[in-house]
Amino acid sequence: MQKILDELKVTPGVLGSSIYTSKHGILATNLPEIFKAETQKRIGNILHRIFKLNDTVKLDVNSFEIQYEEALLLVKKLCNTSSLIIICEPDAKVHLINMSVSML
């Protein structure tokens, strides 16, 4: 799993990523050290709950993007209990990153 995250990190615009599960927290990460483990777990929990909210209203959402001035967050639902969280540069090419994720 770590190897896949490291391969994803070489994609232009990707700063790092992590895999969050609702049962175990962060399974793998290669985010910069500024993102402490507990902070990553909290962020992962909040972002993953968005998928749960969509399930409640019967929306089939399997990914979403959050654009900040400083960064772009891409969140992909891996299954009902886990998500892939990718932190990118604000002007990252989303299509290129999505293609890299699909290939990996």
Q: pLDDT, tens digit, for every residue of 19-56?
A: 999 999 999 999 988 889 899 999 999 988 888 888 77
pLDDT at 82: 92
- Please give the single-letter amino acid code of residue 26: I
Say whether pLDDT at 12 is over 80.
yes
Helical segments of the chain, H only: 2-9, 37-56, 94-103
pLDDT of residue 57: 80
**pLDDT, tens digit, for every residue of 48-95?**
888 888 877 878 888 999 999 999 999 999 998 999 999 999 999 999
Q: How many CB atoms lie within 10 A of CB 97?
A: 21
Task: Say how far apart CA 65 and CA 71 lie, in whole Å.
Answer: 11
- Whole-prediction pTM value? 0.90
Phi/psi of residue 8, each to 5°? -65, -35
Q: What is the pLDDT of residue 17?
A: 95
